Structure 1
């Protein structure tokens, strides 16, 4: 029997990421719909969540905590304090794990709003989790034991790949995999535009560009080989690919993407420190 088979999973907030995680838990067999419960002040969001996951709704945040062992905070950063304030009275240190996916809220700030010794995980999933192909980095608080660490891993493995990192690196996770889908969408759009410029119909160009990016990504993940090696195998002497790569290098595309990840990381740090600059 799975170690998580008897666990109930609660959600504070029933938006898109809460829905993705709920569906992932059920689809992967980690939990049944009967083991899911959520609270959201927006009735329409809660209705959509229950329909998508097969889970139950609760009348309050405190009711979710009382019913569940794992509590996932899936609200906007601006309302995390209020959500934790409602939940704290029902939180039991020996029983619960709290997982926050609210961007920029440090572990220490979450722990400070819960009873002393609370087990807390801070995570950064990305939007492809909606399709079960997400990438999540998470950091465990000082009171998270091996069992609760496994709960958190199972949760995020249900919607993609997981990497456990020190909290200090979560801003880099945000800059890379959190913001990264938008960077890749830009690549797909630009490649499709190139195809259209050279005569391909828009629909065909976009499909070919998207499939090319997906296929190349799978080659990296499934072969475990360095992207540079795979690139060299496509690049024939004097051929079409080296002509395109030469232009990309002259345009500084490699450096631009490094700079984009850096900029997104630094912005995440600013947001986490409360800066609006």
Structure 2
């Protein structure tokens, strides 16, 4: 079976995924075709050894890709998809555009098209992303496995069986990096208020969040257990957690934030 891939759109996310495929050896450059109208982005992709063209009509007439990954802005998706209809039935289509339902692909490609919807987040740009997938009934298990292996070059991959849960995924992992970045901002400002120089406070905040996240990811203990381990009775951490956890302050705030993001995702999905 062919492992040829077409990447439609090679902006920041598309290029990051492409680079992950090539650098990891998951795909050979000669097996990848990139469609990117912007000359500078096309040249950047071509520098990796892949074949880059400006439009779908420039792809080889006999090309039979196993996957067509579409990484364009959501608002132009409906105009882009029809140009790739000739691959429907052979290729699995993968969308990484937020808010675009599988039904849009089925509308333009036919109800027998194999479609996977994927929600990545920005850390995918350095191979540390969280990518969540939903597939329609036309996606074969072996093709799902192929796509998943490629997505893994950008980070961790999870799947959901109900497309409606994509709004919750967006609210947690899609928008989640911004919540963490803001926490780093807040912790930095708190350090400055406590008397630290801003550069020092910024380093302490960033590295503490980075290190805590890495420890949580690699430890066999739950985050709750890790929190308990660092919290001595009546100690400094306990004093701080009394503020954050008292009356479930932080828990309630985060739940409210995630719900707001989820509801906005639902609104955007309705157009």
TM-score range relative to shorter protein: over 0.9
**Residues 38-117 of structure 1 correspond to what in structure 2 (within 5 A)?**
38-51=34-47, 53-64=48-59, 67=63, 68-88=65-85, 90-93=86-89, 95-117=90-112
Residue 169 of structure 1: CA displacement? 1.1
Would the alpha carbon gap of residues 62 and 142 (structure 1) be closer, same or farther in structure 2, given more than 3 Å must change?
Answer: farther
Q: Distance in 1 between matches of 2:147 and 2:227?
A: 35
Contact 1:12 1:64 in 2 (8 A): no
Tell me the secondary structure at the aligned position of residue 234 of structure 2: coil
Pairing 1:148–2:143 present? yes
Tell me the secondary structure at the aligned position of residue 183 of structure 2: helix
Residue 64 of structure 1: CA displacement? 4.6
Aligned length: 267
- TM-score by length of structure 2 reads 0.93
218-227 or 231-240: bigger deviation: 218-227
Q: What is the match of residue 14 of structure 2? A: 18
Q: Distance in 1 between matches of 2:44 and 2:183?
A: 32
Q: What is the match of residue 136 of structure 1? A: 131
Would the alpha carbon gap of residues 122 and 76 (structure 1) be closer, same or farther in structure 2, given more than 3 Å must change?
Answer: same
In structure 2, list runs of 5 or more residues that go unmatched: none
Would the alpha carbon gap of residues 54 and 265 (structure 1) be closer, same or farther in structure 2, given more than 3 Å must change?
Answer: farther
Q: What is the match of residue 160 of structure 2? A: 165
- TM-score by length of structure 1 reads 0.91
In structure 1, list runs of 5 or more residues that go unmatched: none
Match of 1:187 among 171, 183, 189: 183
63-72 or 202-211: bigger deviation: 63-72
**Residues 124-273 of structure 1 correspond to what in structure 2 (within 5 A)?**
124-166=119-161, 167-250=163-246, 252-273=249-270
CA deviations 1:147-187 (Å, max 9, x no partner) are: 11012211211110000112121111111110000000001
Tell me the secondary structure at the aligned position of residue 118 of structure 2: strand
Residue 39 of structure 1: CA displacement? 1.1
Residue 221 of structure 1: CA displacement? 1.6
Residue 211 of structure 1: CA displacement? 1.4
Contact 2:175 2:261 in 1 (8 A): yes
Runs of 4+ residues over 4 Å off in structure 1: 62-66
Q: Distance in 2 between matches of 1:26 and 1:219?
A: 29
Tell me the secondary structure at the aligned position of residue 142 of structure 1: coil
**RMSD (CA atoms):** 1.7
